[in-house]
A = this chain, B = another copy of it.
Amino acid sequence: MSIQKIARLAGVSVATVSRVLNNSDTVKPKNRERVLQAIKESNYQPNLLARQLRTARSSMILVMVSNIANPFCAEVVKGIEEQAEKKGYRILLCHSGSDIERSKSGLRLLTGKMVDGIITMDAFSKLPELKMIIGDAPWVQCAEYADTGAVSCVGINDVDAAQHVVSHLADSGRQRIALINHDLSYKYARLRERGYKSVLHVRELDYQSVEYAAELSSAAGKAAMEKLLAQQPRPDAVFAVSDTLAAGAMRAIEQAGLKVPQDIAVVGFDGTELAEMVSPQLTTVQQPSREIGAKAVELLLKRIENPASVAERVMMDWRFISRASA
């Protein structure tokens, strides 16, 4: 079912069919009708591969995330989708699972010209190999800092936010504040840890304990908390870098027969729906997830439309939400 067949059916040239398909130019109404009729009759759908090969644009953008199951991620993706849709772009989601082979495989869509650009929510800064593959294709890092100035990024000030959380905990009299962090290959993880440690230092608190979760799931948060609970002395507060981790931590605390916040205060991060669904409700840092996603699209389209344009680094506002857990 090619444009050829339609042309034959409608008794016009392929050029004319193409013109009505792109509703450009002025095609004589009678011819347009005939083409439209032929298209309908034969249930014709243009071949995107051929079209994109010819025009060298796809109006598609690749979104690469490490873990779609993380609700924060899902929210950002929704923001990306909404904005992309407005601008006439379609989203392709690629779930890397933080796996480098998977990531490379996903990136082939970019290098293979199937998409016009890429938004990543993954830890790429530490992976020169992946950066090399992307080359200078349009790229923006989302909810994660870019190390170099060459790539655009949108996020919040992670150091500030972490400092705020830990200060809040210290202000309320907590002495032994632990951190449940994500893999340090994420720049945001390094930044939040820096915020955490700086407050400990300034306040002259000498308890310091960091556990690393392999992924942002509640199960990983629970496992991390169990390790913290096994320590002597155990923490009286814990800051988890995502709501999912915090929810898991709360469960571990409860299972150990302890109370949140009486025995251990818990603070999460992201401000997802999950934070309101757990009990007690979670104190957290709300990120403007949808807006981060929308902004990422905006930055990306700027680069797609003008590849020579300079990279931008956008900082969004965050908000501390105090609830029952801390």
Contacts and interface: CB of A to CB of B under 8 A. Distances in A.
A218 B49 CA distance: 40
B105 A77 contact: no
Contact of A273 (B51, B77, B217): B217
B95 A93 contact: yes
A219 B75 CA distance: 14
A49 B47 contact: no
Contacts of A51: 112
Contacts of A277: 218, 222, 247-248, 251, 278
Contacts of A222: 277
A48 B108 contact: yes
Contact of A46 (B71, B77, B112, B279): B112
Interface in A88-146: 90-95, 97, 102, 105-106, 108-109, 111-114, 132-133, 135
A213 to B, nearest CB: 14
Contacts of A208: none
A53 interface: yes
A112 B49 contact: yes
Nearest to A107: B45
Contact of A219 (B49, B69, B111, B273): B273
Given A93-B92, A218-B277, A254-B279, A47 B81 contact: no
A117 B97 CA distance: 23
A102 B84 CA distance: 12
A160 interface: no
Interface residues of A, number: 53
B94 A92 contact: yes
Q: Is the interface of A mostly helix, strand, loop or mixed?
A: helix
A68 interface: yes
A279 B324 CA distance: 15
B254 A113 contact: no
A43 interface: yes
Interface of A: 43, 45-53, 68-69, 71, 74-75, 77-78, 81, 85, 90-95, 97, 102, 105-106, 108-109, 111-114, 132-133, 135, 217-219, 222, 247-248, 250-251, 254, 273-274, 276-279
11 contacts: A47-B112, A69-B78, A78-B95, A78-B97, A81-B97, A91-B95, A92-B93, A92-B94, A93-B93, A217-B273, A222-B277
Given A45-B112, A93-B93, 20 more contacts: A43-B132, A45-B108, A47-B53, A48-B114, A49-B53, A50-B53, A68-B93, A69-B71, A77-B95, A78-B95, A78-B97, A85-B102, A90-B108, A114-B114, A218-B274, A218-B276, A218-B277, A250-B279, A251-B279, A254-B279
For the complex of A and B, 9 pairs with smallest distance between CB atoms:
A48-B112, A93-B93, A45-B111, A69-B74, A49-B53, A218-B277, A68-B68, A49-B49, A247-B277
